[in-house]
Structure 1
Amino acid sequence: MAIVMRPSQSLRLWQQVTLAEVKAAAHDLTMRQMAILLTVYLDPPPHTVRGLAEKLGVTKPVITRALDTMGALKLVSRHRDEKDKRNVLVKRTVEGALFVERFGDVVIDKAAELPI
Structure 2
Amino acid sequence: MADRALVNWMQTLVGYVRSGQPDLTNRQMALMLLVYLTPGPHTVRGLANILGVSKPVITRALNTLGTLGYLRRVRDEADRRNVFVAKTNTGQEFLEGFEQNIEQEGHSRRSGRERGFILQHG
Matched residue, 2:95: 100
Matched residue, 1:87: 82
Matched residue, 2:116: none
Which consecutive residues of structure 2, in runs of 5 or more, have no partner in the other structure? 113-122
TM-score, normalisation: structure 2: 0.87
1:15 to 2:10 alignment: yes
SS class of match (1:102): helix
Alignment of 1:56-95 (within 5 A): 56-95=51-90
Matched residue, 2:109: 114
Q: Kindly, what percent of the aligned residue pairs are identical?
A: 47
CA RMSD, 1 decimal? 1.1
Partner Cα distance (1:27, 1:95) in 2 = 13
The structural deviation recorded for 1:25 is: 0.6
Matched residue, 1:55: 50
8 A contact 1:50–1:87 mirrored in 2: no
Matched residue, 1:40: 35
Matched residue type, 1:65: R
Matched residue type, 2:33: L
| Paired residue total | 111
Partner Cα distance (2:81, 2:105) in 1 = 42
Matched residue, 1:3: none
The one-character-per-residue Cα deviations of 1:42-93 (angstroms, maximum 9, x if unpaired) are 1111111011000100000000000000000000000221222232100000
Greater shift in the superposed pair: 19-28 or 75-84? 75-84
The structural deviation recorded for 1:37 is: 0.2
Q: Which has the larger radius of gyration?
A: 2
